[in-house]
Amino acid sequence: MTERVVPPARRRRRRPTKQGVVLSEELIVATALRLISEHGAEALTVRRLGHALGADPSSLYRYFRNADDLMLAVADEMIGRVLREWRPGGDWRADLRDLGLRMHAGALSHPQATVLSAYRVTGRVHEIGAVEAILGVLRGAGFPDAEAVRIYHAFIDTTLGFAALDAGNAALPRAAREAEQRVWRETYAGLPEETHPHIAATVPLLAASMRGSAYPTALDMLLAAAAARLARVTREP
């Protein structure tokens, strides 16, 4: 793609595509997300996307400068899908836990796209809305601004870090994931107590725990630490 983006007011096609739809930024992003989920990063090409939309690939330049611009739009749409379903209830800790779990689940629903985008900053409307909402929850809870920013940073990096880690695992072929589980059940379970007493004592728990994500535990620990910090700063003059 190139630097030929058309202003929104001039983007609308006069005629439907071959599939009977009128192009829009929303339709292109949704189609790109579907293609990435089905075929991985290699699906994000102008030619393949144009074919899926039934449109001339060159028409996509009216909406996005290049493939990276489109990838950022896809990442922002994934954030938007989470925000549209999240409603804060007034308890800051419960609200952030709910949002974090929704963000993590949303990332795992599109692991291929998450692997490509979890580390990106989009600067788009949904990401901006998420930053504003999280900071609003923290400041509304009574965190001073410096603390609110510090906890926001820890919260979002923990969430996105686990999203990328777990999405990367989910994007592996099934055989590879099953092989990793066998390592815990067989390799670690076979280590002798004489040389690895701590692993030998806990290996059944390890094998069970490593099947899932540690994100809920890490999130609870982070929020507990944040609550302790809030209690401390509110006691200080």
Identify whether 176 is part of a domain.
yes
Is residue 142 in some structural domain? yes
Query: The domain spanning residue 103 has which CATH number?
Result: 1.10.357.10
d(CA 70, CA 102): 23
Integer Cα distance of 167 and 109 in angstroms:
9
In a domain, 122, yes or no: yes
In the chain, how many H helices and how many E strands? 10, 0
112 and 196 in a common domain: yes
pLDDT of residue 5: 52
Predicted model pTM: 0.85
Determine the pLDDT at residue 17: 58
- CATH of residue 43's domain is 1.10.10.60
- Same domain assignment for residues 120 and 210: yes
In a domain, 82, yes or no: no
Distance CA(125)–CA(207), nearest Å, equals 41
**Does residue 75 fall inside a structural domain?**
no
Residues 117 and 198 in one domain: yes
Q: What is the pLDDT of residue 21?
A: 67
Q: Per the domain annotation, does 2 fall within a domain?
A: no
Q: How do the pLDDT tens digits run along the chain, 237 residues long?
A: 444 554 554 544 445 555 556 889 999 999 999 999 888 777 778 888 898 998 888 888 889 988 889 999 999 999 999 999 999 999 999 999 999 999 999 999 999 999 999 999 999 999 999 999 999 999 999 999 999 999 999 999 999 999 999 999 998 999 999 999 999 999 999 999 999 999 999 999 999 999 999 999 999 999 999 999 999 988 866
Number of independent structural domains in the chain: 2
Residues 220, 127: one domain? yes
Is residue 226 one of the residues assigned to a domain?
A: yes
Q: What is the predicted pLDDT for the residue at 44?
A: 78
Residue 20 lies in a domain: yes
Residues 192 and 143 in one domain: yes
Q: Give the tokens for residue 68.
A: 């990276």
- Write out the residue range of the structural domain in which residue 18 sits: 8-65
Same domain, 206 and 94: yes
What is the pLDDT at residue 3? 46
Handedness of CA 211, 110, 134, 88 (dihedral sign): negative
Rounded Cα gap, residues 199 and 175, in angstroms: 25
Same domain (yes/no): 160, 48:
no
Query: Which pLDDT belongs to residue 2?
Result: 46
CA 156 → CA 87, 103, 129, 184, distances in Å?
A: 18, 10, 13, 30
98 and 215 inside one domain:
yes
